[in-house]
Chain A
Amino acid sequence: MTTALRDFIKNPTPAELELVARYGAQPEDSRRERAFLAFAETGLPHRRMEAWKWTDFKAALKALETPAAASAKDPLPHEGALVFRFTPNGFEAPVNMPEGIRMVEQPGMQAFPGAENVPLGALAAALSGGGKRPATLIFEITSGNLPRLHFVFSGSGQASFARIVFLIRSGASLNLSESYLGGAGLTSTVLEFDLEQDTAINRAIFQRGGADEALAVTGIAHLGANAEMTQTTLSFGAKVARMETRVVHQATGAKLNLNAAYLSGRGFHTDITTNVRHGAPSCVTRQLTKGAVLDGGTGVFQGKFFVPRKTGQHTDADMQHQALLLEDGAQVFAKPELEIYADDVECAHGNTCGALDDAQMFYLRQRGIPENQARAMLTEAFIAEALGKADDSVREVLLAEAQNWLSS
């Protein structure tokens, strides 16, 4: 079978061959095979694919073995949270779990619908598990009163894959945070969220990787009637980092707040890609993405709203992306897309890229604030808006991390 797959990826790179070998070492499983085939269709995503034209994993990832760089330190607070840790070979969960949460470590793979849309998500689903790690980790949430669940992903050289499924039962709610701390040549994680009616989730994502690492986080959510999802991402990128979120409004009255801030320094690439489908009437989406990029850094924003003619009526959706090019040589690529077929909707979008305002800079400096500090202050104020909806327990930390980056 391995040979056949090897033939399936056209002109495989060394990294792709290693992935094929890893797949071959897994027990046979038809679901796993389907997911891996979905990945193998294209191999590592590359610039000739429309959805990946600015974020080329194939070119960036020469081999899977890695980096001297250790994982970054986790800035998000562990106190008061249920902490789950993924390391390359292991998985640690709290010994005692409160009522209202049930965790199942599934050794076999669960079906992964829609794999063809998310090649790196499909790869994560196909290769997760092995060693002490579950192939699929499933959480069933039945309480509205749980402490924050905090997931830490860190590596030590090896490629690392994980898949987590959250089933949020009617009336329940979840406060979730995730830290992606790098330390592996390739990390791909896929998280799926099934929100039943009248549920809520507040999800915060912190990502920091090394300049020789590739990282993908794929989130896929289905929102039931009156379900509300709030997501806040703070991403510092890596050699290539793709933070992708796909959301389907499945029933009337669902609400989505989809916010992200990306900060890319020299040699770092951060990609925020989102796809929201208004598959039910009277659903709301508010999306705000802010970025700041230095010389030699790259930011990518790809946002899409899809509003079908019949089911998308009375959609209320707004997409904003604003980027600051802090230095000459900074690059930002943006593609906001609104595909609307319904006629009775309110959909708006805005997209701006520019430098800091000279008049504002002079005003701060005239009052005695040194140039670097003035630039950091203005950029922080600009970015902060995108972090404002994060849960109280993590918001200040996210802001402080952004601030540290800006003043260093």
Chain B
Amino acid sequence: MRPMLKITDLSAAVGEDSEAKTILNGLSLDVPAGEVHAIMGPNGAGKSTLSYVLTGRSGYEVTGGSATLNGENVLDMDPETRAAKGMFLSFQYPVEIPGVPVMTFVRTAMNAQRKARGEDEISAPDFIKKSRDVAKTLNLDAEMLKRPVNVGFSGGEKKRLEIYQMMMLEPKFLILDETDSGLDIDALKTVADGVNAMRDPSRGMLVITHYQRLLDYIKPDKVHVLAKGRIIKTGEADLALRLEKEGYDGVLGEAA
């Protein structure tokens, strides 16, 4: 079966021409629908760069290789087109948007995606009902959804709001970038429950994390180790435990 996300020999650099610095260096990775893959790696390995290159943030130049989602090359698409195709990034540092209430933002996003896919807009009552149900699952205060996006939110609230958006938009492919950072155990559990509720045979997930802790709650099908811009080791869920015990140096030394 063709993988949902297929990354082949991907190289990318950040910065202007003469000072461009290669961050991804021949990265290959397949994530089939229905599976959750974790990417672990030391600081500076290129984890966040991978998430930005896949979602089309400016400032990153793809210098080689390809990335396809359901067979379509995503690297040539605008960020909004990739989003409409079902690509969703849960940000490591969610951005504050003063003056734009959460509900307005998410509804605008949802309808923009629907329009791009040639679907009808969601009606206001349907949207409100869906929002209420999702907020309840995530223990989100309804008042919070009327406030401007992420403005004055705690670290935990911001991460929960990312999951809220994910559950509202129902993307096909999820990238979670360090979703566990800044969360206490209770918040981590709520967030993980939200992510687990999204697991589905038709959906793929890439969970980028520093620590094994998150993977106690979101069980991956595969664990990849990213270092120096490429995947240097792939294993089952127990690889994460080994990394936790032996450290990256131990595992990397063995792979080298």
- B100-A366 in contact (CB<8A): no
Task: Closest A residue to B52 by CB, please name it.
Answer: A362
In the assembled complex, which residues on chain A have CB atoms less than 8 Å from the CB atom of B59? 358
- A363-B94 in contact (CB<8A): yes
A225 part of interface (Cβ distance < 8 Å) = no
Give Cα distance in the complex from A381 to B82, angstroms. Answer: 25
A170 part of interface (Cβ distance < 8 Å) = no
Give Cα distance in the complex from A373 to B55, angstroms. Answer: 18
Give Cα distance in the complex from A370 to B56, angstroms. Answer: 13
Q: Which of B55, B98, B116 contacts A366 (CB 8 A)?
A: B55
- B58-A362 in contact (CB<8A): yes
Give Cα distance in the complex from A151 to B88, angstroms. Answer: 50
B179 part of interface (Cβ distance < 8 Å) = no
- B83-A368 in contact (CB<8A): yes
Minimum CB–CB distance from B48 to chain A (whole Å) comes to 13
* B3-11, B107-115, B121-129, B239-247 - interface stretch: B107-115
Q: Which of B96, B99, B110 contacts A385 (CB 8 A)?
A: B99
- A368-B116 in contact (CB<8A): yes
The interface size bin for chain A is 20 to 34
A360 part of interface (Cβ distance < 8 Å) = yes
- A373-B112 in contact (CB<8A): yes
- A368-B89 in contact (CB<8A): no
In the assembled complex, which residues on chain B have CB atoms less than 8 Å from the CB atom of A374? 80
In the assembled complex, which residues on chain B have CB atoms less than 8 Å from the CB atom of A382? 98-99
In the assembled complex, which residues on chain A have CB atoms less than 8 Å from the CB atom of B148? 381
- A363-B97 in contact (CB<8A): yes
- B108-A358 in contact (CB<8A): no
Give Cα distance in the complex from A368 to B91, angstroms. Answer: 15
Minimum CB–CB distance from B162 to chain A (whole Å) comes to 10
- A368-B97 in contact (CB<8A): no
The interface size bin for chain B is 20 to 34
Number of residue pairs spanning A and B whose beta carbons lie under 8 angstroms apart:
77
Give Cα distance in the complex from A378 to B91, angstroms. Answer: 19
Task: Closest A residue to B86 by CB, please name it.
Answer: A368
Q: Which of B78, B79, B88, B100 contacts A377 (CB 8 A)?
A: B100
Give Cα distance in the complex from A359 to B88, angstroms. Answer: 16
In the assembled complex, which residues on chain B have CB atoms less than 8 Å from the CB atom of A365? 56, 78-80, 83
- A366-B97 in contact (CB<8A): no
- A369-B80 in contact (CB<8A): yes
Chain A contacts with B in 350-374, Cβ cutoff 8 A? 357-360, 362-371, 373-374
- B55-A368 in contact (CB<8A): no
- A367-B78 in contact (CB<8A): no
Task: Closest A residue to B94 by CB, please name it.
Answer: A363
Minimum CB–CB distance from A108 to chain B (whole Å) comes to 49
Q: Which of B58, B94, B99, B113 contacts A368 (CB 8 A)?
A: B113
B24 part of interface (Cβ distance < 8 Å) = no
Minimum CB–CB distance from B62 to chain A (whole Å) comes to 16
In the assembled complex, which residues on chain A have CB atoms less than 8 Å from the CB atom of B145? none
In the assembled complex, which residues on chain A have CB atoms less than 8 Å from the CB atom of B256? none
Give Cα distance in the complex from A46 to B164, angstroms. Answer: 56
- A370-B80 in contact (CB<8A): yes
Minimum CB–CB distance from B239 to chain A (whole Å) comes to 29
Minimum CB–CB distance from B79 to chain A (whole Å) comes to 4
The winner among A358, A366, A384 for most chain B CB atoms within 10 A is A366
Minimum CB–CB distance from B150 to chain A (whole Å) comes to 9
Chain B contacts with A in 6-23, Cβ cutoff 8 A? none
Q: Which of A359, A366, A373, A384 contacts B99 (CB 8 A)?
A: A384
Chain A contacts with B in 318-368, Cβ cutoff 8 A? 357-360, 362-368
Q: Which of A357, A362, A384, A385 contacts B79 (CB 8 A)?
A: A362
In the assembled complex, which residues on chain B have CB atoms less than 8 Å from the CB atom of A359? 95
Minimum CB–CB distance from A363 to chain B (whole Å) comes to 4
The winner among A358, A370, A373 for most chain B CB atoms within 10 A is A370
Q: Which of A360, A368, A384 contacts B80 (CB 8 A)?
A: A368
Give Cα distance in the complex from A381 to B148, angstroms. Answer: 10
Task: Closest A residue to B113 by CB, please name it.
Answer: A368
Whether A369 touches B97, Cβ cut-off 8 Å, given contacts A362-B58, A363-B91, is no
- B116-A367 in contact (CB<8A): no
Give Cα distance in the complex from A366 to B96, angstroms. Answer: 14
Minimum CB–CB distance from A358 to chain B (whole Å) comes to 7
In the assembled complex, which residues on chain B have CB atoms less than 8 Å from the CB atom of A363? 91, 94-95, 97
In the assembled complex, which residues on chain B have CB atoms less than 8 Å from the CB atom of A358? 58-59
Give Cα distance in the complex from A370 to B80, angstroms. Answer: 6
B53 part of interface (Cβ distance < 8 Å) = no
Whether A373 touches B95, Cβ cut-off 8 Å, given contacts A366-B89, A367-B83, A367-B165, is no
Please give 15 more A-B residue pairs, beta carbons under 8 A apart, in addition to A368-B169, A378-B100.
A362-B57, A362-B95, A364-B97, A365-B56, A366-B82, A366-B91, A367-B113, A368-B109, A369-B109, A369-B112, A373-B112, A377-B105, A378-B97, A381-B100, A385-B99
> Residues of A at under 8 Å CB distance from B?
357-360, 362-371, 373-374, 377-378, 380-382, 384-385
> Residues of B at under 8 Å CB distance from A?
55-59, 78-80, 82-84, 88-89, 91, 94-100, 105-106, 108-110, 112-113, 116, 148, 165, 169
Q: Which 9 A-B pairs have the closest CB atoms?
A: A381-B99, A368-B83, A368-B113, A367-B109, A365-B79, A363-B95, A365-B80, A368-B112, A368-B109
Pairs across A and B, CB under 8 Å, 16 listed? A359-B95, A360-B95, A364-B97, A364-B109, A365-B78, A365-B83, A366-B80, A366-B82, A366-B88, A367-B109, A367-B169, A368-B113, A369-B108, A370-B116, A381-B97, A381-B98
